[in-house]
Amino acid sequence: MKALKNERILITGPTGQIAFPMAVELARDNEVWGIARFKDESKRKRLESLGIRTRSIDLANPDFRDLPDDFTCVIHMAAFIGPKPNFDRALTVNAEGTGLLMDTAGRLVRSSVCPAAPYTRHRKIRTMRSRSRRLSRVRRCHTRLPT
């Protein structure tokens, strides 16, 4: 496997168990940016002390204007996994947020995100309608149609 060197890398969810050590390792030979909600400011400061540039961005309602537009690699490790099942929030962050990130950042190299919500039979129809609405929003954003 070829090592990444001299790249501009965006990592989502850089405070997580998997993404944190990955970000630290990649920051040795690359310019690494990390985006997260950063509810805990000490985690953000820790990343920055290790040479990782951070921006506070919530994938539920992302604003990517403060990020460079020339990342050579995007490693998407952020996901909503709440303490209580919240299907709508999970779809907003894990599906819509991922789609908007892909539209903004370009090539998606790795993603840990999968639908993170419990599936039950009584939610099947609502689930399909909700997914359809969310995918439509991502498509509208991608094609720059009004929402």
Domains and CATH numbers, the chain: 8-143 (3.40.50.720)
Instruction: Give 106's pLDDT tier (boundaries 50, 70, 90).
Output: low
Query: Does 125 have pLDDT greater than 60?
Result: no
Q: What does pLDDT average to over the chain?
A: 77
Beta strands, E only, the chain: 8-12, 31-36, 53-56, 73-76, 110-111
Contact, 130 vs 86, CB < 8 A? no
Query: Does 33 have pLDDT greater than 90?
Result: yes
- pTM of the full predicted structure? 0.71
Pairing, β 8-12 against β 73-76: parallel
Task: Summarize the confidence of residues 37-66 as an average pLDDT.
Answer: 94
Query: Does 135 have pLDDT greater than 80?
Result: no
